[in-house]
Structure 1
Amino acid sequence: MTVILRRVARPLLATIFVTGGINALRQAEGHAKAAEPFLNSAIDKFGDKLPEQIPRDPVTLVRIDAAVKIGAGLALASGKAPRLAAGLLLGSLVPTTLSTHSFWTIKDPGERQQQQIQFFKNASLAGGLLLAVADTHGKPSAAWRAKHATKDVGTAAGKLSRKAEKRANKLAKRAQKALPN
């Protein structure tokens, strides 16, 4: 049942990102204009901490974001590295939401309400992506496996140590018997 659910849910969740990424590529300048105030503010605050290789041009950033949405969306939809894909989409969704749906800055009540709806839609998508990031397919997480592997190694080391100690004691007794009094 859960396998079928994943095969249906992942593509449904990914659809908005793939289509949004394609739309952003087609209209990069318009998306960049909408995101520019947020991007300029973020660059003003954190620009000195960003590596020089990270572009500051809004159109380039929109294109990079669009490529992430398309690539990670297709990966999520196809089940290829779905946890990583969901994490990338989540990382893309947060700045997109803050830059384009900042309803708290809008004075017009009608436009404010529309942007509030879009903001909470994206918040809901973020919840779905968080579930996808945490989905281990019913298998233990990497942290759980590492913790238990450590215990297993400790147990094996303890057994090996006790065996070595017994063997050393036997050899010591033999050596004692072999020595002349």
Structure 2
Amino acid sequence: MTLVRRVARPLLAAPLIQSGVEAARHPGAHAEAARPVLKQVSGPLRLPNDPVMVVRSAGAVTAVAGSLLAAGRLPRLSALAIVVTAPVVQPVEPFWKEKDPALRREKQATFVKTLGLIGGALLATVDTEGKPSVAYRGRKARKAAGLAVREVRADAHDTVAEVKVSGRKATKKARKQAQEFAREAEKAARQAAKEAGRTSRRARKKAEKIAAKQSAKAHRAAQKAGHALPI
């Protein structure tokens, strides 16, 4: 807590504590002033149909909340309690209806002071002492979560694109290798056919040569025997 807050909070809380104690001890005047307000809100808020008891309870709450605010304990929650009970503990008197100029000025000054106290309490409800508020941290967390989700989606999209590109590259590579294997197989088949052809021609020539030799031998043998055999 800074020095300014150590001084400002007790100064703000002092008149609030005093009005809370006064409302708790002597609720009659406050109850009469707050009766129009209580008549409107007692039904929706389910408050007791007893303005004196409501004012006394609200005064006690204001006194305790003001003490906590002055001590710097739960300052935002204490200030919120003071603001909530203000319409009962700090009732606004219709000074504009007062015909006596002196009383009108007095009530008007009280009205302005009351507004100032409520405004100070409202500021205290949002005073985070330089720390980020819960709403700010929530907005920041939502932004961080949204950014993380967008990054994850972008990474997933990039990964899918890489997989598709890799798949196309792999398919193209496999197709190319298959074509190379087919060409090599066709080349090997042609070489094997050539080898088989050469072997067949050599075998045929050798067979013809052997047959020619055998025929010549047979012809010579036939001549000797007196037989003429066609070559």
The normalised TM-score by structure 2 is 0.62
**Secondary structure of the structure 1 residue equivalent to 2:49:** coil
Q: In 2, Cα distance between the equivalents of 1:50 and 1:96? A: 17
1:75–1:82 Cα contact (<8 Å) kept: yes
**Secondary structure of the structure 1 residue equivalent to 2:137:** helix
1:143 CA drift (Å): 2.8
Which residue of 101, 104, 107 corresponds with 1:109? 101
Q: In 1, Cα distance between the equivalents of 2:84 and 2:43? A: 21
Q: Write out aligned runs for 1:155-170 (5 A).
A: 155-169=147-161
The aligned counterpart of 2:3 is: 4
Amino acid in the other structure paired with 1:13? L
1:86–1:130 Cα contact (<8 Å) kept: yes
Instruction: Give the stretch that moved more between structures: 107-116 or 117-126.
Output: 107-116
Q: In 2, Cα distance between the equivalents of 1:138 and 1:9? A: 16
1:83 CA drift (Å): 1.8
The aligned counterpart of 2:111 is: 119
Amino acid in the other structure paired with 2:82? L
The normalised TM-score by structure 1 is 0.77
Q: Which runs of 5+ in 2 are unaligned?
A: 176-231
1:160 CA drift (Å): 1.8
Amino acid in the other structure paired with 1:134? V
Q: In 2, Cα distance between the equivalents of 1:126 and 1:46? A: 19
Q: In 1, Cα distance between the equivalents of 2:64 and 2:85? A: 12
1:33–1:58 Cα contact (<8 Å) kept: no
- The count of residues paired between Structure 1 and Structure 2 equals 173
1:88 CA drift (Å): 1.8
Amino acid in the other structure paired with 1:4? L
Q: In 2, Cα distance between the equivalents of 1:46 and 1:102? A: 19
> Larger RCO: Structure 1 or Structure 2 (Cα < 8 Å, ≥ 6 residues apart)?
1
Amino acid in the other structure paired with 1:3? T
Q: Which runs of 5+ in 1 are unaligned?
A: none
CA-based RMSD of the aligned residues comes to: 2.8
